[in-house]
Amino acid sequence: MNKLLTTLAAAFAVSGACPAGQELAGTSWQLRAIQSMDDAQGTTRVNDPAHFTLEFGRDGRAALRLDCNRGAGDYRAVPAGDGSSGTLTFGPIAATRALCPPPHLDERIARDMAQVRSYLLKDGRLYLSLLADGGIYEWAPLRAAADAADKDRLVKPVRFGTGRSSTVIRERIVGRQTIDYQLQAGAGQRMTVSLKGRNGANYFNLLPPDSSDAAMAIGEQIGNRYDGVLSDDGLYTIRVFLMRSAGRRNESSEFTLSIGITGAPLEPVPARVDAVLPGTRYHARATTKCEPLYSKARECEALVVRRGVDGTATVELRWDADRKRRILFVKGEPTAADSAQRLTFRRNERGWRVSFDGEEHFDIPEALVYGG
């Protein structure tokens, strides 16, 4: 057994100091390395730790980012007396199945999580040990990764010239840098975005308001061209970046980014016409059935910003404290959403069942949209 495995095995066997409150529930981690029992294989270092993350929910659910995929599953942790170690097991990990670039660590991680049997918190790192000395996964706090990423993140406001509804930006991006172009837009307006980069690894993602990561459009999947109706009011972010392999090589790209906003926003109905929940922008609130991805939630909080008496409204669904989906209804028909997945819907006697790629489902009551 190599030195690291020997050290960690000893640490599990003895009591050690642990800062107060250092528990798994509510923590988030990024993968730094995978240590093999086979000295010939040694340690696999992770080049892009932020692409492999693990979040321990307070509801006994774990969420994983697995490179270009996402996964989720139950977990059970039983701390030892000192609080810095204990047993840990994961249930089956349900994951998306996109084909990520080599070396396909996403497949390995999803498989190995079923073999995790114990954990150790040591020197600010989390170590997960696999069954039968199968290896050790080393994780670092995700906040540290976010802080590091922020150093390479530039935020730039987008402004159109007087009387204009579009702009063209010409710039250069280098290495791991990301540039967030931000602009205000309203529900019902149409946004167009196109990116032409000299480097084929140059892409953009479109993020809806209040999102730091989840995208409503992924340039790599749509040929770096987006044309769609916006579902809500707020600050939208067009994130320009190089794919991580190009970023690691410190490549660069000169690019042209074209952005346009057309149409008038659908203004909310005034409070004097329709009731508004005190202290919020929402006209009404309800609880509805839902089946969001990577969650055990089967009920969601549903809030609405009504934009007309004809069934035009933005419905916001919330679950698991910080997850949300926004759907724009126009004259009683679901029209747009802040999701990169295809929207479909079915009318029923109670309202609508709105689905995304047939995998995520939300039941929307008619009374929520129309009022009454």
- pLDDT tens, residue by residue, 6-23: 444 433 333 333 332 347
Binning pLDDT at 50, 70 and 90, where does residue 188 land?
A: very high
HSE on the CB side for 157, CA within 13 Å? Answer: 5
**CB 120 within 8 Å of CB 138:** no
pLDDT digit string, tens, across residues 122-163: 877 899 999 988 899 999 887 655 555 567 889 999 999 889
Instruction: Characterize the bridge pairing of strands 217-218 and 153-157.
Output: unpaired
CB atoms within 10 A of CB 17: 7
What does the alpha-carbon distance between residue 332 and residue 369 come to, in Å, rounded to a whole number? 8
Residue 316: both structure tokens together: 């916001």
pLDDT > 70 in the chain, percent: 90
The yes-or-no verdict on residue 361 having pLDDT over 90 is yes
> How are beta strands 153-157 and 178-185 bridged, if at all?
parallel
For 106, 208, 258, 276, 369, the CA distances from 307, given in Å and listed in that order, are 43, 19, 29, 12, 9
pLDDT in tens, 200-243: 999 999 999 988 888 999 999 999 999 999 999 999 999 999 99
For the four alpha carbons of 186, 187, 190 and 192, in that order, the dihedral sign comes to positive
Measured CA distances, 243 to 218, 222, 240, 340 (Å)? 12, 15, 10, 19
- CA dist 118 and 102 (Å) reads 28
pLDDT band at 3 (very low <50, low <70, confident <90, very high): very low
pLDDT digit string (tens) for 276-333?
998 899 999 999 999 998 788 899 999 999 999 999 999 999 988 778 999 999 999 9
Q: Pick from 33, 72, 63: which is nearest to 49 by CA? A: 33
Give me the DSSP letters along 35-85: E-S-TTT-EEE-S-GGGEEEEE-TTSEEEEEETTEEEEEEEEEEE-TTSSE
pLDDT at residue 146 in the model: 54
The sheet carrying 178-185 orders its strands as: 153-157, 178-185, 234-242, 202-207, 217-218
Helix count (H) and strand count (E) of the chain? 5, 27
60 class by beta-carbon count within 10 Å (0-12 exposed, 13-18 middle, 19+ buried): middle
The pLDDT assigned to 39 comes to 59
Q: Which residues pair with 89 in a beta bridge?
A: 76
Instruction: Compute φ and ψ for 182, nearest 5 degrees.
Output: -120, 140
